[in-house]
Amino acid sequence: MFAVPKASDGRVARLGLLFPAMANPELLPVHYLPIATTAIALAFLPILLNRGRVRGWPPHLVWWTIGVACYGAGTLLESIITLRGNSAELNRWWYLAGAILGAWPLATGSVYLVLARRTATILTTISAVPVLVAAIAVTLSPIDVAEVPAHRPSGAAIDWTWIRAITPLINTYAALFLVGGAAWSCVRFWGIPGQRGRTTGTALIALGGLLPGIGGGMAKAGIVEALYVAELAGLVLIWAGYQLCIRSADPGEGDLDASFATIATGTAPEGSSS
């Protein structure tokens, strides 16, 4: 006897045509995590945009917003690659958004948060040079289609291999200032009444910015699943850290961003020990 096809079989077949990954037994639930990460980034961005608008766009908020936007762009591309399959151009733009522009804008936000604006601008200008060089090179580099996995992104597909030598320099700079900013925050804020939440928040932002870099290192070893987990956990930590920074503001100090700036230039807020 012939099996009678179920009505659901047709729907599954149509979904398989729209999203080939659904018919791929090699893909596990972890490979769909970028979809959740992208959704979180889309929810977080309006909050940052509104905060920036209300506060007159201080530089650290500008860069944090850019950082979360790049973060979300990278995970959006990962989601498309998982659901629809990879291609040379998808892989190229993923490398730009994720590997080149992943942690650097977040680190630049930390630079502006903890250093005098003049110093921060000098550092940002200098560090932007390799970022721009790498970004332009990625857009121009040929893509080795033989190195493009079917449903996963890969940096090995970038044909100009010297670009992959610049990326660690950018990420090392980002890690230095993410960790350094968190350490500086601990030293400067911990003894000031009402500022411990900001210390914890800055540390969470730093950890959240570092996790994708750690996951990216494991992805180079072929464990892309570690990158997907790290990106989701990292963005959750960044958002949690941001909320702690905002909620720990003392109403008596006035504007949150201004209080950060006064501490950064070496003058403690009114009523605190110097």
pLDDT at 13: 46
* CATH code of 128's domain: 1.20.1070.10
Residue 167 lies in a domain: yes
| CB of 211 closer than 8 Å to CB of 238 | no
Token pair 């006897």 is at which residue? Answer: 1
* Residue ranges of the chain with per-residue pLDDT less than 50: 1-5, 7-9, 12-13, 15, 17-18, 250-274
Domain extent, residue 85, equals 28-143+150-261
Cα separations in angstroms, 160 against 130, 144, 163: 15, 9, 6
CA distance 212 to 233: 9
Is position 8 within any domain? no
Is position 6 within any domain? no
In a domain, residue 105? The reply is: yes
- Could you tell me if residue 7 is inside a domain? no
Place of tokens 């992943």: 102
| Paired tokens of 153 | 């992104």
- Give me the number of domains the chain comprises: 1
Looking at the domain assignment, is residue 50 inside a domain?
A: yes
Is 175 in a helix, a strand, or coil? helix
The per-residue pLDDT for 219 is: 76
64, 106 Cβ separation under 8 angstroms = yes
Q: What is the pLDDT of residue 4?
A: 47
Within a domain: residue 16?
no
Compute the distance between CA of residue 110 and CA of residue 233 in angstroms, rounded to an integer: 19
The DSSP bridge partners found for residue 143 are 158
The single-letter code of the amino acid at 101 is L
Distance CA 247, CA 195 (A): 10
Question: What's the token pair of residue 17?
Answer: 């045509």
The pLDDT tens digits for 214-250 are 887 777 777 888 999 999 999 999 899 888 878 765 4
pLDDT at res. 82: 92
Coil, strand or helix: which one is 158?
A: strand
**Residue 246 neighbours by CB distance under 10 Å:** 14
Tell me the average pLDDT of the chain: 80
In this structure, is residue 87 part of a structural domain? yes
